[in-house]
């Protein structure tokens, strides 16, 4: 075991990175993977130090993580209770409804909590939350998110897992029993150990960093010449310096070149090496998007044709179906497994309301309401409730269907004649009286 000294100069602290600052003054074991991962970074072909912080400095990685976490974290999460009829209603009195939908702890709103939860899944491969019980010890009172870099675990002799958390805020380490930890692995091959996308994709992220560095080195401080001055005679050092200063001044101020003694100026175009560098950077964006399951056009990469019109609508549907929904189902099942008792699991469940994605699209929302009401699936009052409008009562709470659909063999047949009084009685459920000449 080693111990980082707490009185390191600020410059050294900045060099080791903010992720290691919380380890200062702490005893570090060989099993503390969070510390060693931050210290060495993930190995890769380029030799770049790939960590969560360095990966987020890549604009494509930042945009992908923000797109997924920012979208999914703003959707409402409700606890649902299954009724005897099979319908599911919001369990407003369940303690988890308040925690998951409104505020999981004293420091975070629900949107903030789900954002850091999903970011932890995307970058570290798993999310860690400590359960805080009420005074009785039987009711869940809070959910405290734990920073993944400071979480480790040991497997006890009896097979149970004992968690360890080096709290960077209190500078105290503590053990957390398995029953007090809500652990959600994102992608795993053994059902428990999370695979970090940052470490598994170190070659891709390291290559993108190397390409960015090469691009910056090429174009920073005039390292790439914009042109050549051709002379027909040999110059002395003083003359060369005068021409360099003249070219530098004209280039900076946009003036006119003045050449002497048969001098000629030739503009340099982009060479194949620079063009290949730009293509490599574009390819890196697509590679990073592949790791996070996001279409490049959804983070602003691609042509105008791919970022507009019906094509973009299909890509949005693709994002919801293939990226957001699998994460939502993973979390929903994790809630059921870790936060509900066996008896509650029979009737209660958590659910992300993916319909919340329609809130910003009035046209799609109106079309959806129209379809649901015209087919007798929802009433007008149920639609009004989703729009936070007061119920109208009466017939607004009645399920209705379109009545203009007839069998093919009835098309063209004359409708039976009815009087206004008969129509009113039929609507009220009163059978019309038989005519006097009826048998």
- Edge-first strand listing for the sheet containing 181-185: 140-146, 126-133, 181-185
Query: Does position 99 have pLDDT exceeding 60, yes or no?
Result: yes
Q: What is the pLDDT of residue 341?
A: 92
pLDDT digits (tens, 9 = 90+) for 120-176: 999 999 999 999 998 887 889 999 999 998 999 888 888 889 999 999 888 889 999
pLDDT digits (tens, 9 = 90+) for 388-402: 678 888 888 888 877
Q: What is the pLDDT of residue 426?
A: 61
- Average pLDDT of span 345-370: 81
Q: Supply angle C-alpha 373, 376, 377, rounded to 5.
A: 80
Q: What is the pLDDT of residue 435?
A: 47
Q: What is the pLDDT of residue 337?
A: 95
pLDDT digits (tens, 9 = 90+) for 212-262: 777 766 665 444 556 677 777 777 788 778 777 877 777 666 666 676 766
Q: Give the DSSP letter string of 22-88.
A: TTTT-EE-TT-HHHHHHHH-B--TT---B-HHHHHTSHHHHHHHHHHHHHHTTS-EEEEEE-TTS-E
- Average pLDDT of span 317-324: 87
Mean of per-residue pLDDT scores for the chain:
78
Q: Is the pTM of this model over 0.75?
A: no
Query: Does position 315 have pLDDT exceeding 70, yes or no?
Result: yes
**Tokens matching residue 423:** 């129509």
Task: Tell me how crowded residue 87 is: count the other CB atoms within 10 A of its CB.
Answer: 9
Beta strands, E only, 168-234: 172-176, 181-185, 227-230
HEC assignment per residue over 251-274: HHHCCCCCCCCCCEEEECCCCHHH
Query: Does position 17 have pLDDT exceeding 60, yes or no?
Result: no
Q: What is the pLDDT of residue 207?
A: 84
Q: What is the pLDDT of residue 101?
A: 94
């Amino acid at each position: 075991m080693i111990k980082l000294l707490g009185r390191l100069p600020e410059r050294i602290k900045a060099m080791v990175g903010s992720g290691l600052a919380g380890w200062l003054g702490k005893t570090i074991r060989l099993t503390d993977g969070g510390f060693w991962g931050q210290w060495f970074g993930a190995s890769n072909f380029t030799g770049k130090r790939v960590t969560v912080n360095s990966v987020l400095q890549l604009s494509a990685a930042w945009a992908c993580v923000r797109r997924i976490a920012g979208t999914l974290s703003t959707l409402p999460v409700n606890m649902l209770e299954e009724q005897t009829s099979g319908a599911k209603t919001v369990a407003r009195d369940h303690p988890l409804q308040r925690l998951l939908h409104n505020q999981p702890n004293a420091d975070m709103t629900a949107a903030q909590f789900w954002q850091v939860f999903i970011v932890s899944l995307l970058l570290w491969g798993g999310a860690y939350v400590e359960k805080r019980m009420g005074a009785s010890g039987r009711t869940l009172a809070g959910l405290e998110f734990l920073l993944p870099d400071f979480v480790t675990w040991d497997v006890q002799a009896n097979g149970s897992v004992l968690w360890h958390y080096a709290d960077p805020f209190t500078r105290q380490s503590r053990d957390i029993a398995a029953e007090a930890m809500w652990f959600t692995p994102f992608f795993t091959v053994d059902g428990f150990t999370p695979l970090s996308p940052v470490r598994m994709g170190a070659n891709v992220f390291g290559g993108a960093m190397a390409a960015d560095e090469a691009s910056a080195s090429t174009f920073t401080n005039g390292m790439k010449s914009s042109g050549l001055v051709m002379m027909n005679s040999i110059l002395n050092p003083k003359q060369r310096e005068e021409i360099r200063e003249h070219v530098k001044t004209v280039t900076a101020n946009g003036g006119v070149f003045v050449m002497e003694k048969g001098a000629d100026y030739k503009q340099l175009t982009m060479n194949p090496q620079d063009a290949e560098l730009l293509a490599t950077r574009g390819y890196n964006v697509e590679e990073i998007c592949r790791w996070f399951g996001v279409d490049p056009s959804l983070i602003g990469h691609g042509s105008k044709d791919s970022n507009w019109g019906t094509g973009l609508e299909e890509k949005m549907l693709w994002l919801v179906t293939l990226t957001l929904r699998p994460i939502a189902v993973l979390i929903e099942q994790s809630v059921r497994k870790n936060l509900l008792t066996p008896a509650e699991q029979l009737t209660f469940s958590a659910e992300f309301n993916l319909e919340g994605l329609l809130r910003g699209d009035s046209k799609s929302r109106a079309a959806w309401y129209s379809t649901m009401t015209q087919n007798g699936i929802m009433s007008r009052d149920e639609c009004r409730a989703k729009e936070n409008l007061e119920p109208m009562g009466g017939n607004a709470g009645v399920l209705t269907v379109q009545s203009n659909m007839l069998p093919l063999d009835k098309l063209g047949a004359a409708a039976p004649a009815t009087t206004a009084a008969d129509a009113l009685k039929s609507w009220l459920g009163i059978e019309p009286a038989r005519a006097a000449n009826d048998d």
